[in-house]
Amino acid sequence: MTCFSGITPSGGATLGNYLGAISRWARDGRPGDLYFVSDLHGMTGAYHPQRLRARTRELLATLLAAGIEPEQLFVQSDLLPQLGALTWILECSCSFGEAARMTQFKEKSSAKGLEATPVRVGLFTYPVLMAADILLQGADEVPVGEDQAQHVELARTLARRFNGTFGDAFVVPRAVTPPAAARVRDLADPSRKMDKSARDSVGVLYVMDPPDLLRRKIRRAVTDSLGRLEYRPVEQPGLANLLEILAACTGKPVREVGAGFGSYGDLKEAVAEAVVDELRPVRERTTELLAESAELDRIRARGAELATARGAHRLATAQRLAGVG
């Protein structure tokens, strides 16, 4: 059993990434599991090369700081030759309709507005690159938040199709979604997920935000005027989000965690302290690791070596079965 997942350096890691993904990877990880910084996925819109490089480094440091073992980590672009090859093979068995159905593509391509920023082909095909990430490493379990489950489903479809058409090359993966905090919402607009690449960051809590900034953002979180301290996600989405965050940080059930608070203000103070306590050690360790530049380079190089060796035979098999190379 191999667990495999990634995070894109399209911004700093958020509390959503941390609760929905990183902390679980660190806690539930077994030897042989693999996690990576998907920097190639950070190129699907307009981006700044130096910033992409710096964020890739920061995320690698954050994954280490969260407690993931160095030999379980790599940076995606270090496998560019293999991934490029496998992506092409998979693209040639993925239909246009399948790629066009991806909710994230539909959201991102329409939100950007065609006239402002042209939608790149890379944004359209990146779920296939994601399938290549997963299938190259032979992953069977892919822990992701709800927002990525559809992409893992595509990887599953493509693996089955390739195996059925050409012969067995790939393990068929499945998505595993966490029970609590599967989707942390933007504090300023709870109809949206908390997204590291959001334009406006008032509702986004970043792992590297200092404690005072976290507290300020949480105090300003949008709630409602009903004054009912209950967990009702449909009627009170802002409040429900705060309760879910508190539940995820304290390990208590979401329906019980609000008991005992007199007001929304009191609840927000408790959420702020829980979030600050949760993120402080990760932020401090990330800062230390970024200062240990040579050590970070060494970990990255070793991770690349291990991941490349691990995928080589699968790519060779896929090429042979597909009649190329």
Check residue 193 for interaction with ligand TYM (CB under 6 A). Answer: yes
Please tell me what DSSP assigns to residue 75.
E
Q: Which two tokens stand for residue 27?
A: 């806690």
Check residue 217 for interaction with ligand TYM (CB under 6 A). Answer: no
Check residue 41 for interaction with ligand TYM (CB under 6 A). Answer: yes
Check residue 154 for interaction with ligand TYM (CB under 6 A). Answer: no
- The smaller minimum CB distance to ligand TYM, of residues 108 and 302, is found at 108
Residue tagged active-site, from 106, 112, 196, 217: 196
* Radius of gyration, CA atoms only, the chain: 20
* Alpha carbon distance 203, 52 (integer Å): 22
* Alpha carbon distance 233, 183 (integer Å): 12
Check residue 125 for interaction with ligand TYM (CB under 6 A). Answer: no
Check residue 194 for interaction with ligand TYM (CB under 6 A). Answer: yes
* Alpha carbon distance 57, 205 (integer Å): 19
Check residue 5 for interaction with ligand TYM (CB under 6 A). Answer: yes
Q: Which two tokens stand for residue 95?
A: 């239909």
Residue of 207, 205, 233, 230 whose CA lies nearest to 219: 205
Please choose, out of 48-56, 127-135, 239-247, 268-276, the segment that lies near ligand TYM by the rule CB under 6 A: 127-135
* Alpha carbon distance 68, 62 (integer Å): 9
Is residue 108 flagged as an active site residue? Answer: yes
Check residue 68 for interaction with ligand TYM (CB under 6 A). Answer: no
Q: At what angle do helices 211-219 and 264-291 cross, to 10 degrees?
A: 150
- The smaller minimum CB distance to ligand TYM, of residues 34 and 276, is found at 34
Is residue 193 flagged as an active site residue? Answer: yes
DSSP, collapsed to helix, strand or coil, labels residue 73 as strand
Check residue 59 for interaction with ligand TYM (CB under 6 A). Answer: no
Please tell me what DSSP assigns to residue 206.
B
Q: Given candidates 3, 12, 16, 315, which one binds ligand TYM under the rule CB under 6 A? A: 16
Is residue 268 flagged as an active site residue? Answer: no
Which residue ranges make up the site for ligand TYM (CB under 6 A)? 4-8, 16-17, 20-21, 38, 41, 130, 133-134, 142, 144-145, 147-148, 181, 183-184, 193-194
